[in-house]
Amino acid sequence: MRTFRITVAYDGTDFVGWQRQAAGVSIQGLLEDALRELDERDVTVMGAGRTDAGVHALGQVAAFAIERPLEAGAVVRALNARLPHAVRVLSAEEAPASFRARADARSKTYRYRIWNGDVVSPFERRFVWHVPGALDVDAMRAAARTLVGRHDFAALQTAGSDVSTTEREILSSEIQSAIHDPQSPLLTYEVCGTGFLRHMVRAIAGSLVEVGRGHRPAAWMADVLASCDRGQAGPTAPARGLFLVSVAYGVVQSRFIPKEG
């Protein structure tokens, strides 16, 4: 048996999410179906995170073990030959048998894309949340910075989620404008953390837009965290604007400096 770690990119628009489900097409299901054909046996694929229906990935990580003696490059070619064009294996490498894509992950980076213009490009509509009207980007940046550090994020998760703790550590949280085109209506929210709750990034994005629209001040984000009440935060932003950018392994350094006292 050889264990492989792969990096996968996908347009999640037409899928039910990462995890195989009773109905609908999932990314995990597509990979396992391809590997069943390749290895002539059932193969379990474990991902680093369970992206929801409509969410995309630039760098999802997954792991599996196969009996067929293939090199990493051959695994990439064989899987891509069996997958739809909306799902691509970008790379593969052999990993120790003990490697666990989810448990061994030390941080994940997500990106949420907002199209802040009157008209959204037809080439962007599947990958952005269209938010017309003026947004106070500086206020959004200030609100985003509030999230850096270790906090209880109960107010920014799907109500009724069953987790042992709602505390998470955010390493960076930034609103960015289009670097190469100052006139572009594209805004991105990028967040890196050691872990995330279900729908957490989308709830953050929805709350940041509330601040940007002037419905709430930037300081409100701290009040949301303190409340631990999902009803106090903004709406959950649409899935189509969210991307899993990357998953990091190894030692992760905190990027924030705790306040004294």
**CA nearest to 131, candidates 215, 254, 46:** 215
Q: How far is CA 194 from CA 112, 115, 213, 214, in A?
A: 17, 27, 29, 30
User: What distance in Å separates the CA atoms of residue 205 and residue 131, rounded to the nearest whole number?
Assistant: 11
Q: How far is CA 145 from CA 209, 218, 252, in A?
A: 14, 10, 19
User: What distance in Å separates the CA atoms of residue 237 and residue 206, rounded to the nearest whole number?
Assistant: 5
**CA nearest to 153, candidates 79, 221, 101:** 221
For residue 17, give the DSSP letter: B
18-55 as b/e, with b when 16 or more CB fall inside 10 Å? bebeeeebbbbbbbbbbbeebbeeebebebbbbbbbbb
How many other CB atoms are there within 10 angstroms of residue 171's CB atom? 19
Question: For residue 164, how far is the Cα from the chain centroid?
Answer: 21
Catalytic residue IDs:
52
